[in-house]
Amino acid sequence: MSNIKITQADNPALIDQVFVIRTEVFVHEQKCLPSEEFDELDAVAQHYLLFDNELAVSTGRFRKTDKGIKIERIATLGRYRGKGYATVLLNHLMEVAQATYTDANCFYLHAQVSVKPLYEKLGFISYGNTFIEADIVHQAMEKSINT
């Protein structure tokens, strides 16, 4: 990893970059319908971009729910995978989310089964059965927040 920077996507130009990455990964590569990928929660979630040498290569969002802090839409451009960007981004998201929502007691997410090991390394534990979301097998996972 060279020159890594993580920024909150809090203006239209940065949100456009978030959507470019998600369109590439989820819509083009994984064949999700745009109507499933982009939802009303985009307006309430906090979005982040990971830049490598000024190029946005990874993104993710989180939001507070009744259950805890839900981490969603983690995506890294194909040619930048396997470099640890998602791990760096996820750790950042959890740190910011925990500082923002001090009353939350857990993180949770719906992991694509193919990337479950990434989340397990970060301390997430599977619960329940696998399920289909956007024609992809997912596993619900959660991680307690140590207070």
**Do the domain assignments include residue 81?**
yes
Q: What integer pLDDT is reported at residue 74 of this predicted model?
A: 97
For residue 27, the enclosing domain spans: 4-104
Quote the number of domains for the chain. 1
- Is residue 127, in this structure, part of any structural domain at all? no
Nearest to 6 by CA among 85, 123, 108, 109: 85
The first and second tokens of residue 46, run together, are 């906090």
The CA distance from 71 to 86, in Å, is: 12
In a domain, 135, yes or no: no
Task: Please check whether residue 45 lies inside any domain of the structure.
Answer: yes
pLDDT tens-digit map of 75-118: 999 999 999 999 999 999 999 999 999 999 999 999 999 999 99
Whether the full predicted model's pTM is greater than 0.75, yes or no, is: yes
Placement of tokens 């194909």 in the chain = 78
Residue 146's pLDDT is 75
Q: Which residue, 94, 99, 101, 75, is CA-closest to 143?
A: 94
Assigned domain for 22 exists: yes
Confidence of residue 147 (pLDDT cuts 50, 70, 90): low
| 128 inside domain | no
In a domain, 122, yes or no: no
Is residue 10 domain-resident? yes
CATH of the domain at 38: 3.40.630.30
133/139 Cα distance (integer angstroms): 10
Q: Residue 2: what pLDDT?
A: 66
Mean pLDDT confidence for 25-48: 94
Burial 23-54 (b: 16+ CB within 10 A, else e): bebbbeeeebeeeebbeeebeebbbbbbbbee
CA gyration radius, the chain: 14
Question: What's the chain's average pLDDT?
Answer: 95
